[in-house]
Amino acid sequence: MFSRLIKNPLALKRLKRFKELKRAYFSFWILIGLYALSLGAELICNSAPLVVHFNGKSYFPVLQFYPDDTFTGSGKLTRPDYWHINQSPAFKDHPENYMVFTLLPHGPLASLDHQDVQVADRVTLQFARQPMVGTLDIRHDFNIKRAFRVGAVFDQTDNALRGQSVETYFELPADVKNAIARRFANQDAPRLSRTIQDFGEKPMNIALSTFRKRRQSPKTVRLTIRELMPAGSKEKRSTQLAFNRSLEIESDDATSLSEVWDRISDEEKEALRRMIALRFEAPVEPYKLTIDGSAYVASFFKEDVHFPFRPVKGHWMGLDGAGRDVLARILYGLRTSMTFGLLLVLISYVLGIIAGALQGYYGGLIDITGQRLIEIWSALPFLYIMILLGSVYGRSFMLLLICYGIFNWIGISYYMRAEFLRLRKQPFVEAAKCMGISSAKVIFRHILPNGLIPVITFFPFSLVGAIGALAALDYLGFGLPPPTPSWGELLFQAQEYRWAWWLILYPSLALFVVMLLGVFIGEGVRNAYDPKRYTRLE
């Protein structure tokens, strides 16, 4: 039968037309290659090594289970942790003992320890210049009665400013003088804020708070002075220095050293080093210090490993919430999705073809009865039934496949019924009946091969729909049981950890690429089976 199909001129024309649509042809082979890659996922992503040579013997953990006692002598019959066993003295100190791991030595179910994730073991010390904010209490003659945290601006101490006139250092604008006079006159005055550019090296903001009339006139008026630091200015930019565990500076930026670190007193440096040493073990609060009369805040940053964790060396797509490698789960999830989709489509097509063939071939009472039963069956809520059966029997791959399969065949049965109703009155069918050929042979050997066009053209789109349905069910929590690798389960984690962009990007990209390839293939198949190219007049 296959040889006749290969030699069939119409089939060859359709194959040629499918190849003419390049995106469909290449998508077909790309999807086949990806599925074949996923079928061999154990040889690419696996926490068990391919080969273990230990004490003169060779073991193949990727093919056979070996208990922990085999390599450690611990007496435990549990699954061994090959990664840590490979770091033990039995392998480190004896070169004749070795392990050959896969390209990605992490399986989809293996949860890593925080210590196994390789990140930079250093603390970044960041200095942020804080703008000066202080106050001046002035009398009627603009002499300063009290100064608070503004002495550094005038190159003076706060006590040295007492008794001096404000206008010795800067000229007050006319509206500010009028606002001060209204306050001394005990008159209501609104809040006032002005920027003075000639205050020195940097502009300053002078503000007067809202004033309400009191029983007695005030003796002093308070000016609030804020240092303005324009965006992009040298003072506004933060300075960073990296320290290793030996408390040595790793930064190569000599400018940062001269700007901040070399200007810090020895006592402050010792305090900062103590806090850096603490930060290697636990979080540390920011530390405030003064450098040359300017206020700074020192913050201590170290990248701590918390799951889910960003992509790092050895984990190119990051780690999920349980410390499992996302790349391994995506690759195994591809196998799960493709296998589920293919099996679901095959089951659905078998049931749909049988139901549609019987209705279309016999017609009459069988057709009417079958249609009414199908309408009743299609009215049942699939999701509720799936939840009910899952709660009774527990979620599993087979249960999900069976539950989805007994509902997914209805659509294809309509097409097959229509094809059989059209073909059963054709001359070749009537001739077969007259020759005494049984109904089963007429259905499956004469009518069905001529009515398979809907089955073939809808197959890629049905596969895409099945893959998307599995991802949706897993995302909702009604699909495969944990910890089965699944794209929908990764997207569910992405909803919980919305800052983990790798949980959103990579599973979505994998789902998008596979579904897009399936759509391209379906477009090519539909184009190949389009009868207009062979029936139009030229």
The model's pLDDT over 160-206, given as tens digits with 9 standing for 90+, comes to 888 888 888 888 888 999 999 999 999 999 999 988 876 656 788 89
* Structural contact between residues 315 and 103, judged by C-beta atoms closer than 8 angstroms: no
Cα angle at 390 between 384 and 396, to 5 degrees?
Answer: 130
pLDDT of residue 12: 84
Token pair listed for 509 = 């990209």
* Structural contact between residues 196 and 206, judged by C-beta atoms closer than 8 angstroms: yes
- The list of the chain residues with pLDDT below 50 reads 1-2, 535-538
pLDDT of residue 355: 94
Distance CA 387, CA 391 (A): 6
pLDDT of residue 294: 75
Distance CA 149, CA 427 (A): 105
Count Cβ atoms below 10 Å from residue 358 Cβ, excluding itself. 19
Q: Is 45 helix (H, G, I), strand (E, B) or coil?
A: strand
- Long-range contacts at 177-185 (CB < 8 A, ≥ 24 apart): 179/208, 180/138, 180/142, 180/208, 180/221, 182/211, 183/208, 183/211, 183/218, 183/221, 184/140, 184/217, 184/218, 184/221, 185/217
pLDDT of residue 178: 92
End-to-end CA distance of the chain: 33
pLDDT of residue 240: 84
Does 320-530 carry CATH code 1.10.3720.10? yes
CATH of domain 120-304: 3.30.450.20
Give me the torsion for CA of 30, 33, 38, 39, rounded to 10°: 150
Whole-structure pTM value: 0.80
pLDDT of residue 472: 93
Distance CA 399, CA 389 (A): 8
Distance CA 60, CA 247 (A): 45
Task: Give me Rg for the CA atoms of the chain.
Answer: 39
pLDDT of residue 36: 96
Give the residue extent of every domain in the chain: 51-105, 120-304, 320-530
* Residue 190, strand partner residues: none
pLDDT of residue 133: 85
Q: Is 144 helix (H, G, I), strand (E, B) or coil?
A: strand
CA atoms within 13 A on the CB side of 145: 11
Q: How far is CA 417 from CA 287, 378, 385, 449, in A?
A: 78, 16, 27, 14
Token pair listed for 308 = 């889910």
Distance CA 272, CA 267 (A): 9
Q: Is 101 helix (H, G, I), strand (E, B) or coil?
A: coil
